[in-house]
Homo-oligomer: A and B are copies of this chain.
Amino acid sequence: MEYRRVKDQESYDVVSQKDIESPVERSLSSTSATSSLSTAGASKGKNSWKLKSIVTLALTLLTSSQAILIVWSKRAGKYEYSVTTANFSVEALKCLLSLIALYRTWNSQGVTEDNRLSTSFDEVSVYPIPAILYMVKNLLQYYIFAYVDAPAYQILKNLNIISTGVLYRIILKKKLSEIQWAAFILLCAGCTTAQLNPSSDHVLQTPIQGWVMAIVMALLSGFAGVYTEAIIKKRPSRNINVQNFWLYIFGMLFNLVAICVQDFDAVMNNGIAVSMVMKYADNIVKVYSTSVAMLLTAVVSVFLFGFHLSLAFFLGSTVVSVSVYLHSVGKPQLQK
């Protein structure tokens, strides 16, 4: 029951809908399949930077608009709808879109090594891993509420930002400059500040078990994200719709397993992050993008739903903005 309550609160609390990132990313990658973007993967230099910017902007706007649309549909709704069913339908739709996009590619370019759906065991063997990681993380989500209440959990979820940065460094072996690390800590502090409310201080009473579980969950989620990036980028020439298709398949499979075990709609919401961002940008860009989307969502909600923004929100937004700036100016010297 406690879990249900939290889920509902999250659905209405637009500002905190960070977990919603994944479906949007998938939708982004699916819809883009019909555009020319999907074939631009090999372009370098300025074009690559431009593509990265467009993809990042698109992800930010889509994440933000998705959160807003969900709240809107719930408020305007004449009849109840199940989040589980809605998410499952979206998943299936996207899997279908991947296939349609693939079909068009086959018609125009013919079936090649890079865009054929069939796959080797070597290639496909890594695809279930992110899905399994998310499943374990979401199973843990049931148990953490024995130690942590909902407002505190909202705050602890921001540990994801730090875990993503650390695992990005360790697993993908990509360097962030010292200033970019500073920016990343600021991003985490800024997002948390923006979400502060009178109940947030509960997090300070979190027992050690709660902290451990929160950290493990952050690591699982960060690992899943970074691992997905590694899979997608390992073979840059591979058609992204094929990659998405296989990730969706395993995601849906483990979701079904989880739903059978428990009433498990959260899995669908987290899902697997497969996206243009993963292929042409990275996990770091994803984290920034979704953080800015959270702020954008809150600002738009002021006009649409009459939300009141707190001083903490403005302070957090300032810190996040400076963090975005520092991330961009603080590029490692070697890359220049």
* Cβ-neighbour of A189 out of B203, B310, B315, B326 (below 8 A): B315
- Asked if A311 contacts B155 (CB within 8 A), the reply is yes
Q: Which chain A residues (280-321) contact chain B, with CB distance < 8 Å? A: 309-312, 315-316, 318-319
A204 to chain B, nearest CB (A): 6
- Asked if B155 contacts A192 (CB within 8 A), the reply is no
| Neighbouring B residues of A178 by C-beta, 8 Å | 329
- Asked if A311 contacts B196 (CB within 8 A), the reply is yes
Number of A interface residues, CB 8 Å? 29
Q: Say if the beta carbon of A241 comes within 8 Å of chain B.
A: no
A321 to chain B, nearest CB (A): 9
A29 to chain B, nearest CB (A): 33
Q: Say if the beta carbon of A71 comes within 8 Å of chain B.
A: no
Complexed CA–CA distance, A198 and B201 (Å): 11
Complexed CA–CA distance, A201 and B201 (Å): 16
Of the listed residues A179, A182, A316, A325, the one surrounded by the most CB atoms of chain B closer than 10 A to its CB is: A182
Complexed CA–CA distance, A189 and B203 (Å): 22
Q: Say if the beta carbon of A275 comes within 8 Å of chain B.
A: no
Complexed CA–CA distance, A190 and B182 (Å): 14
- Asked if B179 contacts A326 (CB within 8 A), the reply is yes
- Asked if A192 contacts B322 (CB within 8 A), the reply is no
- Asked if A189 contacts B311 (CB within 8 A), the reply is no
- Asked if A311 contacts B198 (CB within 8 A), the reply is no
Chain B's closest residue to A202 (CB) is B311
Complexed CA–CA distance, A200 and B319 (Å): 18
| Neighbouring B residues of A196 by C-beta, 8 Å | 196, 311-312, 315
Q: Say if the beta carbon of A105 comes within 8 Å of chain B.
A: no
| Neighbouring B residues of A189 by C-beta, 8 Å | 315, 318-319, 322
When each residue 158-200 of chain A gets 1 if its CB lies under 8 Å from chain B and 0 otherwise, what string results?
0000000000000000000011001001100110110010101
| Neighbouring B residues of A319 by C-beta, 8 Å | 186, 189-190, 193, 319
Q: Which chain A residues (54-90) contact chain B, with CB distance < 8 Å? A: none
When each residue 320-336 of chain A gets 1 if its CB lies under 8 Å from chain B and 0 otherwise, what string results?
00100110011000000
- Asked if A311 contacts B179 (CB within 8 A), the reply is no
| Neighbouring B residues of A312 by C-beta, 8 Å | 193, 196, 200, 312
Can you offer 17 A-B residue contacts whose CB atoms are under 8 A? A155-B311, A179-B179, A179-B330, A182-B326, A185-B322, A186-B186, A186-B319, A189-B315, A190-B319, A196-B196, A196-B311, A196-B312, A198-B198, A200-B311, A203-B311, A204-B309, A319-B319
